[in-house]
Structures are given as structure tokens and as C-alpha cells.
Amino acid sequence: MNKNTRIYIAGHRGMVGSAIWRALEGKGYNQLIGKTSKELDLKNQEAVKNFFEKERPEVVIDAAARVGGILANNNYPYQFLMENMQIQNNLIDTAHKQGIDKFIFLGSSCIYPKLAPQPLKEEYLLTSSLEPTNEWYAIAKITGVKACEAIRKQFEKDYISLMPTNLFGPFDNFDLETSHVLPAMIRKFHEAKIQGNEPVELWGSGTPKREFLHVEDMADAVVFALENDFQDNLYNVGTGLDLSIKELAELIQKTVGHQGEIIWDSSKPDGTPRKLMDVSKMSNAGWKAKIKLEDGIKDTYQWFLENIDSIKQVKL
């Protein structure tokens, strides 16, 4: 790798892709390539092929995906399965056929079985059934992991998969129908605060435990993977620490300054009881997360306030 290497970041306008772009720019990489979804439809195989032939990237980072929380996964199972497979298959296959030797595929911790032992180790993949509320997205991501593993095994190319835990940070999605739990809570508590500290209703019991990683830490992990040779094909990326959804809600409530009641709707699904990543492989490779959860939430809420009029789908 050198600073003139042509690096294509798929999904460079999203929360993760834009953080990776900023991280690479900050380290002096000056040949970054990005296309919006309007400029390049990654679901179109021919369009992806033509783009690769024209731009000639030397490295590909796949941060493009259709993403969402429990509600979106439940309501649009076919789109979450098919569109994600189309996006990643086109990128992985075209990169391989164009002779690209370095590919970083970003997945999700939801690829692991619902009731796998905690913390989640990479070898637990495909050992049991998935969480039903997001299995469509998970299955798509598993096929991406396996495609990269197959290329690595058969052609000895440096194709690796990084599986992040729950990500959050600047440029997150705050739309209540499609967002994940942390940004949804930030918006709910903020709206309730400005409406006179009204009660906030949250899904589930609050007992499930989750791990959260600031997106800038994730971007730092991607840069680390880009600049180093890894011995295996699959690595978890997280903090190795978790907390209950109830504790998360109380932390966000405190950060936002909401002083009303929290009401838990136990008729709504909780999802997986616990999802903590075993990050020892990544740690042994030389990388660890740096941003504390409380600091990351403060940073994200501040960004939310500064961008409240322009946040995608915020509809305040």
C-alpha cells in the first residue's frame, strides 16, 4: 500500500463509508474513489463492470448495504436479502475478475446464531439458527463472507471480512422506521425533551444486552486492515464490552437531558438476548477500539443537534 493506491469505497456517503473516507484522507491517501447510488447502481452487474473497467481501482472496501433495524428487516425481508446479495456479489465478483488482490468486506454481528455462546467467536458462524427478525440481512452477509473466503482459499487473494458490532456516530440514520436502536433513542429522547419532557416509549423489556462501537473506531479498524496482512479471512470488530438496553436508554436520556418517564412496551420483540463480540483475534492482530461509549454518544448527539435540519429522513 502507498498513498497513491487507488481505493474504491463502495457506500462512501453512508455513515461507515464516509468515516472510512475521512480516516483515509486524514492519513494522506489521495486516490480515493466514490460514487453515489444515483451515479452507480451497485445492483446492476453491467454498470459495476463498466465502472471498474473505467476507474481501475486497486483496492475495494465494501461499505455499501441496505441496512435497518428490527422493524425494517421484518417489513422488507426480500429487499434485505436480495439487494444486499446483488450489491456484494457484483462488487466481489467484479473485483476478482478485474484482478484486484485486496478486498475488505464489511458485514455485521447478526451473522452469528441467535443463541450462540457469549462472547461471539468467529468460529461460531453457521453452527446454529439465526435471529428470525434479521435473518434476511444476516444470510446475505454470510454469503459475502463465504464468497471472500472462497476467493482467498482458491486464488490466494487478500480478501477479508470484518464483522462490526452495532455501529453509531455522525451521519447515522435517525428515521424511526428504519434506524437502529441507539440513534432512534437519541431522536426519541430529544423530541420528548423539546415537547416538555414527555414520556418516552421504547420497544421490548430493556433486558437484552448490546455492544456499541463508534463509527470512527470502525474506520480506524478498516485502515488498519488495509495497511496490514491478516492471517485469516474473518475478524470481529468491537469493544468487547456491552450493556443492557435499559442502561443504554438511561445513558442517552442523561446525555440528551430528558427528564421524563421511560415506558417499556414488552409486547414488542427484544431480538437476540445478548450479542457481545469476542474481539481477541483483532486484538492479537494489533488493533483495539479507543472511543468510550459515553463520549461517543455525546459526540453523536452533538452532531445530531448541529445537523437537525439536514439529516437524511429525520422529518422533525
Residues with active-site annotation:
137
Cell 461517543 belongs to: 296
Q: Report CA-CA distances (Å) from 222 to 125, 215, 227, 265.
A: 21, 11, 9, 37
Q: Does 271 show up as a binding residue in the annotation? A: no
Query: With the CA atoms of 64, 139, 132 and 106 taken in that order, what torsion angle do they form, in degrees rounded to the nearest 10?
Result: -40
Run of H or E including 210: strand 209-210
The C-alpha atoms of residue 114 and residue 130 are separated, in whole angstroms, by 5
Q: Does 244 show up as a binding residue in the annotation? A: no
Q: Does 28 show up as a binding residue in the annotation? A: no
Q: Does 188 show up as a binding residue in the annotation? A: yes
Q: Does 2 show up as a binding residue in the annotation? A: no
Q: Does 106 show up as a binding residue in the annotation? A: yes
Q: Does 17 show up as a binding residue in the annotation? A: yes
Q: Does 13 show up as a binding residue in the annotation? A: yes
Q: Does 16 show up as a binding residue in the annotation? A: yes
Q: Does 165 show up as a binding residue in the annotation? A: yes
Q: Does 167 show up as a binding residue in the annotation? A: yes
Beta strands 59-62; 158-164: pairing state: unpaired
Q: Does 206 show up as a binding residue in the annotation? A: no
In terms of Cα–Cα distance, which of 192, 212, 210, 193 is closest to 201?
192
| β partners of residue 147 | none
| β partners of residue 234 | 161
Q: Does 49 show up as a binding residue in the annotation? A: no
Residues 6+ apart with CB under 8 A from 275: 109, 110, 112, 118, 120, 165, 166, 208, 209, 210, 211, 242
Q: Does 267 show up as a binding residue in the annotation? A: no
- E strand residue ranges, 63-107: 102-106
Q: Does 82 show up as a binding residue in the annotation? A: no
C-alpha angle with apex 24: 23 to 26, nearest 5 degrees?
A: 65
Q: Report CA-CA distances (Å) from 61 to 114, 137, 195, 206, 216.
A: 28, 19, 42, 35, 15
The C-alpha atoms of residue 6 and residue 24 are separated, in whole angstroms, by 12
Q: Which cell numbers hold the place of 28? A: 494522506
Binding site for substrate: which residues?
Answer: 188, 203, 210, 270
Binding site: which residues?
Answer: 11-17, 106-109, 141, 164-167, 180, 188, 203, 210, 270
Binding site for NADP(+): which residues?
Answer: 11-17, 106-109, 141, 164-167, 180
